[in-house]
Chain A
Amino acid sequence: MSDLKEFMGKKVHVITADARFFEGVLQGYDNSTNIILQDCIERILYSEEDVDEENQEIPLGLYIIRGGEVACVGEIDPAKYATIDWSTLKASTLKTTKNPL
């Protein structure tokens, strides 16, 4: 099993099964990938088509996300992160987490 240990205490992005995009400091996890995110925010990004929508950043505080919901956890590189302008960033819709057979 790969390990979230290296991400402990660092800022991470989390993508959940319902296609939400969270950002926060990873403060803990367990065997079932339940994770603790401190100073958690949710980012809502719109695609090129949604012209009149503005990207949002919703402060959420301290969050525990159930392991079953976690699709992806990624460490943030602070240097690269600083160059991102979240308000103008465009993103395309995520594909479903369910694999059609």
Chain B
Amino acid sequence: MLPLYLLTAAKNKPVLIELKTGETYQGDLVNLDPWMNLTLSNVIHTNTGADEFSKETEVYIRGMHIKYLRIPDEIMDYAKEQNLLNMEQRNKNVKRRGGDRNQSGGGGRDHRRGGRGGNRRFQGDRHYNNNHHYQQRDNE
């Protein structure tokens, strides 16, 4: 599992961030991007010496300054579950596409070409044929 995927699963959950400077931020993860830049809400900020604290309603943290993140243990299971659901969904889609290709035999290539946005318009009849195969299979 990718670290960013896990982190995405931790949205709206409490997280603890330590920056390279040693400062820590504790708060609810609002959003993140592919660079691990984060926004947190309801934040408690602790300085490097851990002797000064301050409260912030919202902060934005640049990913490159992060040393590590601590996230709730249960996020791991949650992320795995989500991953599994996504995989199942994808498998379903692949199966559907694969089945279609088998049915139409040599026409499989046509279907693939038809699947691309631009060409689709000019291959309306072929596309229709593919749908026809679909119906046939369903009737069998």
**Chain A positions near chain B (C-beta within 8 angstroms):** 16, 18, 27-30, 34-36, 38, 60-66, 68-69
Are B6 and A36 closer than 8 Å at their CB atoms?
yes
A28-B3, A34-B4 known; 7 other A-B pairs, CB under 8 Å?
A27-B6, A28-B2, A63-B69, A64-B7, A66-B63, A66-B68, A69-B20
Report if B76 contacts A (CB, 8 A). Answer: yes
Tally of contacts, chain A with chain B, CB under 8 A: 58
Contact check: which of A60, A62, A65, A68 meets B75 at CB < 8 Å? A62
B71 near A34 with CB under 8 A, answer no
Given contacts A27-B76, A34-B36, A66-B36, contact A60 B70 (CB under 8 A): yes
Distance (Å) between the CB of B98 and the closest chain A CB?
28
**Is the pair A30, B76 in contact by a Cβ cutoff of 8 Å?**
no
Give the docked Cα–Cα distance between A68 and B71 (Å).
19
Contact yes or no, A27 B68, CB < 8 A: no
Give the interface size class of chain B. Answer: 20 to 34
Task: Find chain B residues with CB under 8 A from A34 CB.
Answer: 3-4, 36
Who on chain B is nearest to A61 by CB?
Answer: B73
Does the CB pair B70–A27 fall under 8 Å? Answer: no
Query: What is the bound-complex CA distance between A27 and B4, given in angstroms?
Result: 12
A64 touching B69, Cβ below 8 Å: yes
Cα A61 to Cα B67 with chains together (Å) = 16
* A18 contacts B67, C-beta separation under 8 Å: yes
Among all A-B residue pairs, the 3 with the closest Cβ atoms: A28-B1, A34-B3, A64-B69
Question: Which residue from A29, A35, A63, A68 sits with its C-beta under 8 Å from B70?
Answer: A63
